[in-house]
Structure 1
Amino acid sequence: MTGRLRVFLAGGLLVALLLAGVVSNFASGSPDGLDHAARQGCTFNADDEITGGTCMAQQEQEHQLADSPLADYGIRGIDNEYLSTGLSGVLGVLLTFAIGGGMFWLLRRRSPEEGGHALGEDLASPSEPSDQKA
């Protein structure tokens, strides 16, 4: 891997870690578009419980992984909401980077000694003329 590529990947990873660890704490807690659309047609009380009407949100169920360590955009057991959210974001970025990097490593092009072609190598045979008229 070239030095420029390493710097580029390290810079991208650093930006992603900063966004996930710091900026994620400033995300809106308001319902997003899908939640808003699912709540259309129902009435809610002060505790945000459905009190009447008909809407998709009435069919809502708890997710199967709701009790997992990283459920609800945080880490279970960490009481500080900002720290929990930031650490779960950082962990998510690192896990995604590791899985993606591992997949690229497994699927990378092999060097000629290994039976493949290296990146940037011309696939044409060096003995073939490129543009000759007969």
Structure 2
Amino acid sequence: MRKRSWGFIVGGMLVALLLAGVVSNYASAHPDGLDSSLRAGCTFDADDEITGGSCPAQQEKEHEIGGPLADYGIAGLDNDFLSTGLSGVLGVLLTFAVAGGAFWLVRRRGSAEAPDAAGSRDAAQPSTAATGQG
């Protein structure tokens, strides 16, 4: 891989880590489109608890499995800013590791098959000397 490609990858990683680790803490706390549609028809108090009405959000419950990165934070970490930032950084690193590994495997498999495909293509076409052309 050329140095220019590595620079692009490293630069992209740094931008993604900065966005996930710092900027994500300044994202809107208001519900996104899906949450808003699920909350339509209900009324909420100052603590964002449902106080009346009828909406699909009333059926909401905690995830059965949970997990260390549930709810955009790290379980057990009391500092919200740090919890959100670290969960974003871990998410970026995990995504990069999985995607990088997949691309590495595909590239490795593709480069191993490429010489065989080129060799069989050449063998299938008649040479110019054998056909009398040239």
**Paired residue for 1:44?**
44
Unaligned runs of 5+ in 2: 129-133
Aligned to 1:76: 75
Cα RMSD after superposing both structures: 2.5
Deviation digits for residues 81-132 of structure 1 (CA, Å, limit 9, x no counterpart):
111111111111011001000000000121xxx4425xxx9xx75x989xxx
Q: How does 1:42-121 map to 2 (within 5 A)?
A: 42-66=42-66, 68-108=67-107, 109-110=110-111, 114-117=112-115
Structure (1 or 2) with the larger CA radius of gyration: 2
C-alpha separation in 2, matches of 1:78 and 1:49: 23
Give the TM-score normalised by structure 1.
0.79
Task: Return the offset for 1:62.
Answer: 1.5
- What amino acid sits opposite 1:105 in the alignment? W
What is the count of residue pairs matched by the alignment?
122
Q: Percent identity?
A: 63
Measure the CA separation in 1 of the matches of 2:60 and 2:76.
Answer: 26
Query: Mind listing any 5+ residue stretches in structure 1 that lack a counterpart?
Result: none
Superposition pairs of residues 119-130 of structure 1, within 5 angstroms: none
Q: TM-score, normalised by structure 2?
A: 0.79
Per the alignment, in what secondary structure is the counterpart of residue 76 of structure 2?
coil
Would you identify which runs of 4 or more consecutive aligned residues in structure 1 move more than 4 Å?
none
